[in-house]
């Protein structure tokens, strides 16, 4: 996979080899080159970073007439650097302040008049900070007069219609959160759904029901795929869930924008150390690796200062984290963990003995723990060339390793591997202003990354279905594994270059700020990866394992590396218009285009049979209009200065586009339908080779590449698989609209009611072009659902199915077309409150979001065959069906609080309550012969089912299942289950942090914290006991397998099933793990200017 969303890749060939202008993208490239050449001349080249503020306004005298020649000085509260401008004949001034921190003191001076000072602060997503100053006639030579509105700051005057939440490092250090993970920070914003990390994926999030690949994360204005930054290097993080600024693009979900710290005239920085040890775990903690918790230590520091005072500055940060936990596996599983996994201890012991007798390796040499290390570093240089020009250079790097990885709790440790990631980049940004009204922004970023995941064993994986009788639930069914790992190896490389430029003007006395900009991104990746490279043996039972009689053998092969370059370009024109009366409009158009620079060879056979061209990948270009507004009601003047309105209306409508995920292109490159590329091999019944594990370990080339042939038949060999783009494919887009009301209740306290609508169009999915259109037969006991293979081809004793018999053209396996005609529909209503508590700097944020999200597939990444299977199949695998989205959480409550208990002691907390996860009752194996294990289960009615074993098991399940699962099943008795028709239990989480700032000297520079990890798990264990836990505090995953196939009767055309008594069970994370209650410690010391009180920038925006 070329994944820009999970991992990135790089290629071996030079950039010049892949620049092949063609189609729609050619126009975009020529426009980009011309515009870059135009804007990059010395008099007009400039780029402000993401943290650049534009301070503009008007200076008037006592008679309200404009003052020409007044000197206006803006000083950053954070860096203490100043910039000044002289007003023009209209009394206007514009100061461009790169990385000033968002808080400024603005002073105006004019001969013969009293200086006047205003404090300004960025409140939201404003395109500029407006400061109007009126000077008095009394000459004052020394002291400035500070002018402030009588009322507290009102709601955010953000750019038209935008919705966002800002978090400073000071705020995040007060809360129990990993501030280095920008994706985790995003989940604090109202309506944002967190997606937990696994050992193969990073944390992610969803906005407006969109897939995680629809998001974008930027650092200092440039794409930042790795998402991890030294916590002492962050200046600010902003989570944008709605925006109508055409300068923001390459996403249709959410946007996280972060900026890094720069050096200042006064040396300053911070150092942080954290400790979390698994010995400090209580409540649900156990000695077993399945509940022992983890140990994590982290040290980080950042320090900056001036190399040349007031001219050249440097800031550097380094962070290292090491983590280890006992490895959960079938070797280390205790009886309680096995029962949570749906396996009886006796069955597990027999499996260990039988698997060991095969000669396959069970364990690995080395430590018994899973260890992970992460190092991230950043160095930044800022050169203040003049008040009008600032140049920034940033270097960043990252290295991460984990061993072992990809070990399932239901597998032997030797099935895992090792993972090594790394990467880095260089950023350059130039911020300039000309003539007081023209502002130019230019930046570029060159990055590289790598990922290597290597298996311990290069042998097939063996999967064994094990049925166990468990107390309370009856028969439970689980799949255990030994041998190798079907997902490994992976070797991914990526090189990318990204350039953007924007020029803007202040016109009409500052009423308008039109902007024109371009964006160019080229990413080249190379990948060597293919799931199931070494094959998979499937055993239907322990008895089959004892007799060494696997029912199915499958293998996919891809000997060729996959390399290609993706171009994503954009051109935009927009304006921010400030209309008298408190109205702010943001509007414009954005043109985005995507082109892929490399294509596979032409496959004439695919063209003649399916009318698809492997050598043609469609370009895409879309024009995206947007309009947003913010209207302050009741704006006026109070006490001689502008008074902020207490009430705002905001909203807008616009179209957003996400670049097509790069794994789609990688899949097309790797599967062009040739025998020397991706191929599929499926062997069923007597055609399954007899495993020879010792030989495979010594010689991987001896792994079967064809089926075992009965004496009278020829051997079955691999069939080429293909992945192609539909000719009408376009990038994912979303039409979004919002309308909200923001009301100031009292000083620095806001309540917001906002409605959002998102209509996804051109969402990507997959269609199998080689799947027969007419069913071979139907299942009379299951509402006549179709089966695509002949009844006599299904193995009677096991029910195993070979998809070879469902192919239109038997010379090919799956031929997956990447389609873009899927849709999604999301409606949200959010009520939120953000306000100061008390007078000591406390902050309370609370939000409730009601969501109705429906789609035709929620698949995000990263294997096409999984994408084809993701929507699950009831009748026709290629049909599109509307259903609740996997990403729908009907109700979502999020709250954070930071409250001072005394002058040096405060408490912070993060709480979340989420309604249940939607899930689909499915069958544990391929039922209809389409080659995917995604068939929805038929819900047998125990009152009318002829199979007494199934009837009894269903009756028992209906009597013991949780109420939500019971209702789901009862409502569908006698029917094939609908997609996402069931929901799991509500999921609460709560963590707290106690911060102590001792008075050392005159300032409180040291902060000592104690924080909790999964506090509710401790409460759960203490209230209910270890054997009756409810799964509080972590994302429990319901068991969605309802039926397992035991065999097939070709005469009656009926499958024989076993009912999983644990269907819907959700008391663990889905892999049997319990996340115990732990306590951790953190210390942080700051160097340089420091306020003894909690900073007032914690005011909500």
Read off the pLDDT of residues 731-748 as tens digits, 9 standing for 90 and up.
Answer: 999 999 999 999 998 877
| Domain annotation covers residue 393 | yes
What pLDDT, on a 0 to 100 scale, did the predictor assign at position 100? 76
| Domain annotation covers residue 1095 | no
CATH number at residue 86: 2.60.40.1120
Which residue range is the domain that position 525 belongs to? 310-557+686-713
| Domain annotation covers residue 404 | yes
* Rounded mean pLDDT, 166-187: 89
Q: Can you tell me whether residue 201 is helix, strand or coil?
A: coil
pLDDT at 457 over 70: yes
* Rounded mean pLDDT, 594-599: 91
| Domain annotation covers residue 20 | no
Which neighbouring-strand residues pair with 628?
586, 652
Which percentage of the chain shows pLDDT scores above 70?
A: 88
Which neighbouring-strand residues pair with 923?
1043
Q: Treating both helix axes as pointing N-terminal to C-terminal, what angle do 948-960 and 963-970 enclose, rounded to 10 degrees?
A: 140
* Rounded mean pLDDT, 659-674: 91
pLDDT at 644 over 70: yes
What pLDDT, on a 0 to 100 scale, did the predictor assign at position 139? 55
Output DSSP code: residue 937.
P
Which stretch of DSSP H or E encloses residue 521?
Answer: strand 512-529
What pLDDT, on a 0 to 100 scale, did the predictor assign at position 559? 52
| Domain annotation covers residue 332 | yes
- Rounded Cα distance between 106 and 71, Å, is 10
423-440: per-residue pLDDT in tens? 999 999 999 988 778 899
* Rounded mean pLDDT, 1075-1092: 83
CA proximity to 384, closest of 181, 23, 100: 100
| Domain annotation covers residue 1 | no
1061-1079: per-residue pLDDT in tens? 999 987 666 677 788 899 9
* Rounded mean pLDDT, 205-216: 95
Output DSSP code: residue 243.
-
- Rounded Cα distance between 237 and 165, Å, is 8
Verify cis geometry, omega within 30 degrees of 0, for the bond prior to 862.
yes
- Structural domain ending residue among the three candidates 713, 731, 754: 713
What confidence tier does 1001 reach under pLDDT thresholds 50, 70, 90?
low
Query: In this predicted model, which residue has the larger pLDDT, 479 or 1100?
Result: 479
pLDDT at 1094 over 50: no
| Domain annotation covers residue 626 | no
* Rounded mean pLDDT, 967-987: 96
Question: Interior CA angle at 188 toward 185 and 194, to 5°?
Answer: 75
What pLDDT, on a 0 to 100 scale, did the predictor assign at position 37? 37
Q: Can you tell me whether residue 775 is helix, strand or coil?
A: coil
- Rounded Cα distance between 110 and 117, Å, is 12
| Domain annotation covers residue 896 | no
Tokens of 113: 């008049």
Q: Can you tell me whether residue 9 is helix, strand or coil?
A: coil
What pLDDT, on a 0 to 100 scale, did the predictor assign at position 429? 96
869-880: per-residue pLDDT in tens? 999 999 999 999
- Rounded Cα distance between 817 and 1013, Å, is 44
Q: Are strands 512-529 and 490-505 parallel, antiparallel or unpaired?
A: antiparallel
pLDDT at 25 over 90: no
Which stretch of DSSP H or E encloses residue 834?
Answer: strand 815-837
Q: Can you tell me whether residue 544 is helix, strand or coil?
A: helix
Which percentage of the chain shows pLDDT scores above 90?
A: 65
- Rounded Cα distance between 574 and 400, Å, is 41
Q: How many domains, in total, are found in the chain?
A: 2
pLDDT at 905 over 50: yes
Contact 84, 110 (CB under 8 A): no
- Structural domain ending residue among the three candidates 666, 697, 713: 713
């Amino acid at each position: 996979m070329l994944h820009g969303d999970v991992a990135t890749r790089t290629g071996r060939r030079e950039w010049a080899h892949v620049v092949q202008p063609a189609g729609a993208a050619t126009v975009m490239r020529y426009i980009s080159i011309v515009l870059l050449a135009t804007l990059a001349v010395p008099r007009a080249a400039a780029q402000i970073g993401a943290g650049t503020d534009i301070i503009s306004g008007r200076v008037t005298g006592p008679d309200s007439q404009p003052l020409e020649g007044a000197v206006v000085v803006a000083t950053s509260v954070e860096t203490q650097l100043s910039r000044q401008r002289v007003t023009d004949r209209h009394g206007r001034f514009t100061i461009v302040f790169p990385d000033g921190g968002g808080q400024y003191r603005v002073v105006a001076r004019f001969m013969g008049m009293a200086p006047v000072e205003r404090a300004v602060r960025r409140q939201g997503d404003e395109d500029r900070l407006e400061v109007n100053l009126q000077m008095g006639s009394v000459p004052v030579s020394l002291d400035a007069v500070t002018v402030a509105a009588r009322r507290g700051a009102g709601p955010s005057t953000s750019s038209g219609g935008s919705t966002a939440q800002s978090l400073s490092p000071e705020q995040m250090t007060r809360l129990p959160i990993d501030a280095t993970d920008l994706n985790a920070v995003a989940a604090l914003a109202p309506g944002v759904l967190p997606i937990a990390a696994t050992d193969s994926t990073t944390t992610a999030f969803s906005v407006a029901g969109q897939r995680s690949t629809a998001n974008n994360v930027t650092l200092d204005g440039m794409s930042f795929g790795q998402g991890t930054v030294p916590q002492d290097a962050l200046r600010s993080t902003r989570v944008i869930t709605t925006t109508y600024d055409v300068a923001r693009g390459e996403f249709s979900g959410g946007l996280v924008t972060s900026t890094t710290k720069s050096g200042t005239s006064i040396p300053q920085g911070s150092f942080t150390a954290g400790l979390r040890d698994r010995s400090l775990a209580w409540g649900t903690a156990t000695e077993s690796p399945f509940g022992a918790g983890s140990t994590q230590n982290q040290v980080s520091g950042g320090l900056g200062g001036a190399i040349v005072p007031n001219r050249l500055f440097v800031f550097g940060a380094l962070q290292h984290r090491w983590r280890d936990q006992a490895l959960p596996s079938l070797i280390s599983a205790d009886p309680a963990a096995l029962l949570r996994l749906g396996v009886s201890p006796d069955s597990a012991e027999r499996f260990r003995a039988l698997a060991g007798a095969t000669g396959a390796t069970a364990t690995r040499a080395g430590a018994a723990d899973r260890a992970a290390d992460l190092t991230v570093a950043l160095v930044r240089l800022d050169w203040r060339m003049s008040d009008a020009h600032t140049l920034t250079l940033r270097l960043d790097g990252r290295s991460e390793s984990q061993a072992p990885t990809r070990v399932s709790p239901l597998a032997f440790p030797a099935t895992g591997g090792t993972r090594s990631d790394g990467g880095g980049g260089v950023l350059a940004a130039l911020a300039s202003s000309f003539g007081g009204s023209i502002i130019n922004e230019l930046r570029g970023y060159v990055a590289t990354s790598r990922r290597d995941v290597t298996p311990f064993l290069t042998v097939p994986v063996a999967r064994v279905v094990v049925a166990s009788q468990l107390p309370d639930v009856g028969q439970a069914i689980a799949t255990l594994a030994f041998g190798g790992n079907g997902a490994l190896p992976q070797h991914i490389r990526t090189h990318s270059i990204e350039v953007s430029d924007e020029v803007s003007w202040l016109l009409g006395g500052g009423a308008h700020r039109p902007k024109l900009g371009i964006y160019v991104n080229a990413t080249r990746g190379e990948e060597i990866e293919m799931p199931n490279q070494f094959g998979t043996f499937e055993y239907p039972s322990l008895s089959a394992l004892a007799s060494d009689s696997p029912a199915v053998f499958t293998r996919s092969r891809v000997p060729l590396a996959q390399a290609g370059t993706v171009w994503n370009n954009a051109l935009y024109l927009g304006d921010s218009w400030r209309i008298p009366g408190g109205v702010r409009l943001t509007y414009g158009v954005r043109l985005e285009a995507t082109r892929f620079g490399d294509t596979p060879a032409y496959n004439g056979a695919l063209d003649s049979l399916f009318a698809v061209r492997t050598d043609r990948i469609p370009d895409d270009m879309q024009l995206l209009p947007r309009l947003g507004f913010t209207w302050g009601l009741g704006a006026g003047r109070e006490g001689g200065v502008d008074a902020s309105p207490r009430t705002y209306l905001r909203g807008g409508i616009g179209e957003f586009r996400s670049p097509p995920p790069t794994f789609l292109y990688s899949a097309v490159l790797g599967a062009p339908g040739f025998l020397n590329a991706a191929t599929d091999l499926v062997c069923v019944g007597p055609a399954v080779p007899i495993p020879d594990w010792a030989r495979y370990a010594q010689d991987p080339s001896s792994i079967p590449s064809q089926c075992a042939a009965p004496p009278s038949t020829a051997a079955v060999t691999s069939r080429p698989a293909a992945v192609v783009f539909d000719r009408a494919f376009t990038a994912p887009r979303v039409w979004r609209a919002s309308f909200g009301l923001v009301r100031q209740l009292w000083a620095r306290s806001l309540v917001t009611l906002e409605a959002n609508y998102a209509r996804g169009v051109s969402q990507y999915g997959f269609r199998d072009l080689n799947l027969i259109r007419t069913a071979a037969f139907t299942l009379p006991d299951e509402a006549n659902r179709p089966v695509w293979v002949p009844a006599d081809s299904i193995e009677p004793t096991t029910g195993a199915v070979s998809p070879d018999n469902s192919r239109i053209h038997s010379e090919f396996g799956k031929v997956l077309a990447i389609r873009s005609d899927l849709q999604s529909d999301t409606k949200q209503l959010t009520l939120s409150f953000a306000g100061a508590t008390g007078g000591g700097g406390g902050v309370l944020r609370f939000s409730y979001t009601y969501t109705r999200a429906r789609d035709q597939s929620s698949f995000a990444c990263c294997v096409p065959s999984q994408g084809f299977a993701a929507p699950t199949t009831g009748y026709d695998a290629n049909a599109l069906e509307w259903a609740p989205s996997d990403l729908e959480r009907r109700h979502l409550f999020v709250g954070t609080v930071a409250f001072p208990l005394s002058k040096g002691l405060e408490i912070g907390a993060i709480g979340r309550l989420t309604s249940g996860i939607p899930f689909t009752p499915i069958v544990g194996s391929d039922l209809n012969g389409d080659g995917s294990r995604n068939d929805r289960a038929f819900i047998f009615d125990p009152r009318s089912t002829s199979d007494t074993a199934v009837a009894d098991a269903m009756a028992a399940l209906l009597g013991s299942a949780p109420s939500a699962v019971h209702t789901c099943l009862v409502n569908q008795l006698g029917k094939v289950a609908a997609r996402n028709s069931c929901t799991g239990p509500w999921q609460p989480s709560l963590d707290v942090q106690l911060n102590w700032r001792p008075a050392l000297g005159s300032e409180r520079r040291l902060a000592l914290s104690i924080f909790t990890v999964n506090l509710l798990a401790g409460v759960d264990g203490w209230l209910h006991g270890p054997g009756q836990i409810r799964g509080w505090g972590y994302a429990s995953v319901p068991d969605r397998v309802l039926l397992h196939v035991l065999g097939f009767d070709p005469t009656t055309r009926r499958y024989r099933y076993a009912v999983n008594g644990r269907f819907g069970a959700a008391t663990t994370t889905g892999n049997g793990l319990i996340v115990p209650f732990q306590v951790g410690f953190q210390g942080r010391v700051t160097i340089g200017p420091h306020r003894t009180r909690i900073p007032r920038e914690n005011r909500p925006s």
